[in-house]
Amino acid sequence: MRYFPLFADLDRANVLVVGGGEAAAQKIRLLRKTAARITVMATGLNAELEGLKREGALLHIPRLPRPADLNGQALVYAATGDRELEAGVFRAARARGIPINVVDAPELSTFITPAIVDRDPVLVAIGTEGSAPVLAREIKTRLESWLPANFGRLAERARALRQRVAARIADARGRRRLWERLLQGPFRRAVLSGADAEALSIFDRELAAQAGPTAAGRVVLIGCGPGDPDLLTLKALQRLQEADVLVVDRLVNPKILEYARRDAERIFVGKTPGGPAMAQAEINRLLVAHAAAGKVVARLKGGDPLIFGRAAEELAALAAAHLSVEVVPGVTAAHACAARIGLPLTLRQRLRSFTVLTGSSAEGLPDLDWRALAAADAAFATYMGVANAPLLRQALLAAGANANQPVVIVENGTLPEERAVATTLRDLSDCIDQLAIAGPATIFVGLDWAGAGLPRPDAVEVYRRRPPSHSYAGEAIAISAEAIL
């Protein structure tokens, strides 16, 4: 981030605009939305600016600026097209510590003017650091269509009622809770529909309720998906913004935390395979303690919280403490990884069920119905199975699985470093070893593209062992590996 976003107070501030043409007029149109005192220095003005001069909306000094003219100015705009003149204005402004913007010259500017969505007093500023104004306009257009034209009424009503809230509720967290309910519920709808009496009645009820005895907080179990922040649900984004405390698993992409409030407390409880780990009982205690203190706690989990996320234990602990809890589902890794490579999980007539299983337990490989999983029509995805892949392969083959059963491995699914490999059950262990697949990875068994009449995507590698030159007890002893497309 080169340009730090902020809003400048221009109420009765002096602003100098150098130039009298269309580029200068564009800046002055924006400035006139404020209460700034605008001075224009130019040898001539276009018709629009002449009209504003006659109305008294600006002061015109009909000459080129001198360095001393910048004294006392809060901001300076230069829009003449004369780079030599503008460079001199830039140097004079820099010497005096005055922010300056030279139109279409980032190298001569200490600030830039963003694209603005105006719902006064709500303003949305959009910047691309001068690199792609067209993108800023695209975002502005989308926001203009999304925000109601009278959206600023909400902020006006909040400003009018803020003192009443501050006088009744001393706790900052309690005030924020009240405003969240007001600005996202019936009060909001009443204000935007123009029902002011109804809005005030709702406000009085909510204020009385919030000013009463301090209520317990709540916990939200949020599924953060397999990694790509774009896969977060809208509800997950909303709950992240409400949270006072974030309790974060290891597989949650750090970029997702940028959607949370900056003042939210962050507690990292990730369990590193083979490394230090916070006990689940301690995680449960943290959730209960923070919620009992009146906080909103967001428990962030990779994938979906109800699929191998130990959500049941956390739900039980919160229920025992009589605390409110909400589960926000997320996109689980099997669905996301399959979607990334166009791998169908079910097929009409031929493949009518799909199983998700864990490849890891405290005792090693879980005790599963291997005969059912080894059936010719079985299809499943294994989570956390990289370390136990040799045991998985051995158990399936011993249960009668075809050694040529298709296997697809997706490592770091949905992330920039994603890698997908197609292999067979016979070659599963060697594929993981030779290609140094470390995880997190999802292992699909019994699924391929051919069964659906689809080509394998070019981005998917194919791993096959070379034919063995010798064998012993039915297994190859001279093995080499190659990845072929």
Catalytic residue among 69, 244, 249, 427: 249
| Cα 167 to Cα 195: distance, rounded to the nearest angstrom | 25
392 alpha-carbon distance from chain centroid: 35
| Cα 165 to Cα 181: distance, rounded to the nearest angstrom | 13
| Cα 40 to Cα 212: distance, rounded to the nearest angstrom | 56
**Is 301 part of the annotated catalytic residue set?**
no
**Is 228 part of the annotated catalytic residue set?**
no
Query: What spatial distance separates the first Cα and last Cα of the chain, rounded to whole Å?
Result: 40
Rg (CA), the chain: 31
> Which amino acid belongs to residue 238?
Q
Residues acting as catalytic residues? 249, 271
